[in-house]
């Protein structure tokens, strides 16, 4: 008996096409921009130099779609740790949750990740034990 081959192509793809990819571009832009806001929603430039460098590197990587799951995760941590302004605001938590959502969704087809890694096809085989 021949093994059954199941090809799962784009079923769980990290690089969805068309409208979903444009939505992921907008989400990447929103997360990259939100990293530079304080808890009250104002653009902040008074953070330590290392923090600003981390924010700019993370934002640039997110805008380009380079290693999106990694940099979105880093962005979530930065959103929670580099809070300025109003300390009892819920905004940093919302920014972190949005970054985690981007990390789980992936970069989309219009990203550097899609160019570097491309779509993948998963081939699963069912092996039968010899008698």
**pLDDT tens track for 40-74:** 777 877 777 888 888 899 999 999 999 999 999 99
- Give domain status of residue 97, yes or no: yes
Residue 40 counted as domain residue: yes
Domains held by the chain: number: 1
Residue 42 forms part of a structural domain: yes
What residue numbers bound the domain in which 104 lies? 7-125
- Whether 131 is covered by a domain: the verdict is no
Across the chain, how many H-helices and E-strands are there? 5, 2
Average pLDDT over residues 7-20: 54
Q: Specify if 115 maps to a domain.
A: yes
Q: Which of 13-17, 34-38, 58-62, 83-87 reaches the highest mean pLDDT?
A: 58-62
2 DSSP 8-state letter: P
According to DSSP, the residues that pair with 8 across neighbouring strands are 122
Q: What is the DSSP secondary structure assignment for residue 3, as one 8-state letter?
A: P
**Residue 2 domain-assigned (yes or no):** no
Evaluate if pTM is beyond 0.85.
Answer: no
Q: Residue 125: enclosing H or E segment and its boundaries?
A: strand 121-125
Residue 85 predicted with pLDDT over 70: no
């Amino acid at each position: 008996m021949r093994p059954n081959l199941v090809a799962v192509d784009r079923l769980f793809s990290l690089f969805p096409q068309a409208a979903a990819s444009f939505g992921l571009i907008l989400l990447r832009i929103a997360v990259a921009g939100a990293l530079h806001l304080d808890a009250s929603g104002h653009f902040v430039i008074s953070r330590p130099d290392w923090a600003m460098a981390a924010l700019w590197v993370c934002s640039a990587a997110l805008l380009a779609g380079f290693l999106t799951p990694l940099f979105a995760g880093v962005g979530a941590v930065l959103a929670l740790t580099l809070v300025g302004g109003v300390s009892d605001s819920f905004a940093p938590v919302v920014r972190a949750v949005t970054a985690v959502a981007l990390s789980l969704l992936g970069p989309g087809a219009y990203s550097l990740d899609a160019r570097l890694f491309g779509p993948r096809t998963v081939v699963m085989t069912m092996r039968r034990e010899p008698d």
